[in-house]
Amino acid sequence: EVQLVESGGGLVQPGGSLRLSCAASGFTFSNYNMNWVRQAPGKGLEWISYISGSGVTVYADSVKGRFTISRDNAKNSLSLQMNSLRDEDTAVYHCTRGRADFDYWGQGTLVTVSS
């Protein structure tokens, strides 16, 4: 069974940093591209970052230069390093599988940016 489990969310002050993780299981992680998608409270879905199986990355303009996506294929793990956090980064962050598939989603981890 495919599972994606996010962790690392929490309360952080504006300007602070946080690192999210996504533990993958039930499939050959290295064979799949992965994404991070976020959802602000009461709002819609926003794609923010992609990484290919070999490490090619793409970012939304809203996070470019502040967030870094990475993966450890040996540990079946996806990460999102978030720096210079802003109020508007407050959201539930989901990891999801595939370049265009988005066929499996984690339950999400809540990041709250507030002073």
Partner 1 sequence: DVVMTQSPLSLPVTLGQPASISCRSSQSLVHSDGNTYLNWFQQRPGQSPRRLIYKISNRDSGVPDRFSGSGSGTDFTLKISRVEAEDVGIYYCMQATHWPLTFGGGTKVEIK
**Least Cβ distance, residue 72 to partner 1 (angstroms):** 23
Q: Which of residues 35-74 bind partner 1 (CB under 8 A)?
A: 35, 37, 44-47, 50, 58, 60-61
State how far the Cα of 50 lies from the Cα of 29, in Å rounded to an integer: 14
Smaller CB separation from partner 1, 71 or 94: 94
Judge whether 5 and 23 are in contact, CB under 8 Å: yes
CA distances from 104 to 5, 11, 16, 58, 115 (A): 11, 26, 30, 19, 34
27 near partner 1, rule: CB under 8 A: no
Interface positions with partner 1 (CB under 8 A): 35, 37, 44-47, 50, 58, 60-61, 94, 99-103, 105-108
